Amino acid sequence: MVFRLSMGNRFQRVELTMKDGKYVAGYKPSIAGVGTIAAIYDEHSFSDSRDLLVEIADFCVIGAIGMRGLRVTVGNDFLGPVEESRQHNFGEVQRVNPEQPAAHLVKIINEEYILGGAANVASNISSLGANCCLYGTLGEDSYKNEIKRLCNEKKIILRDFLKDGPTIIKQRVIAHGQQIVRLDFGENNLKKMGESIENQIITSLEKEMEEYDFIILSDYNKSFFSKSLSETVINMANSKNINSLVDPKPCNLEFFKGCTVVCPNRYEAEKITGIKYSNEWEILKKMGEVIFEKIGANCIIITCGEDGVFIYDKYNQNSSFIEAQVREIADVTGAGDTFAAVLSLGLSSKLDIYDSSKLANYAAGIVVKKVGTATLNINELRSSIKK
């Protein structure tokens, strides 16, 4: 069994052999400056496949990062509505509302802002130790500065462009661990992004594209993506042999023809294909075939909630299903963002689509146990896999 592990923009060959009932990984470092990390894993034993996956996960995120004091090349470009921020108001319900008994009266205890939309994908990448560059538009308001502050704190490189309209805010009121209500701001009169801003984004990407190993296009149907912008970005990536992942909204699917991986959830897959969802193999395979016919991606991944993940790999003529790893669900907000982020890190570190999806499945299972939009760290991922 042989793996090629990403070390910056180079690779190491790792051979796994069976010895006394255990997998043993061994390799000799050939890149100056990686001896310390290499020594940790040289002749490292894996007691079973779960431990093996843990160590692969380390290499995907930590191993590819801590080697040298240079900019990490597991960099990802995230295109999408950066302008979305999520405000969480935490409080408690103490008594009946005298103005309207049917409405909750919540005493607010504290507030927090969390990155949302494509910025949540970037936040997940950052929390796992990788660098990322985030593209999107912001409104000319106070929330713009809040988003910039949060990106700076998380060491996310932000390429923001000024749009004609307010920043999108999703405000959640949470009491006793439960969401009471969600208020959405800034979506009443969404305007399409102008040609001038599209050209600025494309010009910037043309200068930086070769610095990235993977491109994620996160579509939330907030008037950010147009057919021309999407096609230009994907064609640019393909011309430089850079893989791309699209998390689409069904109405915009055909904007993203030619991407490497498309990753709808089961409800989006129903809308795209017109096929009623079921976790039966033949139904899922037919969904994959229809989506492939529409968009031509090498691989279609359908996230199936509590059922798991279905992989339709047209490139290798293979399909598989991974069962969900979670039994407790507190909040599904942002789980798709986490899945896309970890899947992309796995693929950009040269894991195959199955192992990358398995890692992403574990990661999504962690964040749904948390209230509100959440991220995870490598220690949580490691612990989840070992259980």
Q: Which residues are catalytic?
A: 337
Number of Cβ within 10 Å of residue 91's Cβ equals 18
DSSP label at residue 251: G
Q: How far apart are CA 375 and CA 366, in angstroms?
A: 9
Which one-letter amino acid corresponds to residue 14?
V
If 0-12 CB within 10 Å is exposed, 13-18 middle and 19+ buried, where does residue 170 land?
buried
Q: In this structure, how many other beta carbons lie within 10 angstroms of the beta carbon of residue 54? A: 19
Please provide residue 272's backbone torsions phi and psi, each rounded to the nearest 5 degrees. Answer: -70, -45
What is d(CA 207, CA 187) in angstroms, rounded to the nearest whole number?
Answer: 32
Contact 130, 345 (CB under 8 A): yes
Q: Angle at Cα 72 formed by Cα 68 and Cα 73, nearest 5°?
A: 120
* Residue 327 identity (one-letter amino acid): R
d(C-alpha 173, C-alpha 112), whole Å = 11
- Burial code (b: 16+ CB inside 10 Å, e: under 16) for 71-84 equals ebbbbbbbbbbbbb
Q: Using CB atoms within 10 A of its CB, is residue 387 exposed (0-12), middle (13-18) or buried (19+)?
A: exposed
Give all strands (DSSP E) within 287-360, no chain letters: 299-303, 308-313, 318-323
Residues in the chain: 387
Q: How do beta strands 299-303 and 261-262 pair?
A: parallel
Q: Tell me, rounded to whole angstroms, the distance of Cα 122 from its chain centroid.
A: 7
- C-alpha 33/C-alpha 18 separation (Å) is 29
Minimal CA–CA distance to 134: which of 231, 207, 215, 233? 215
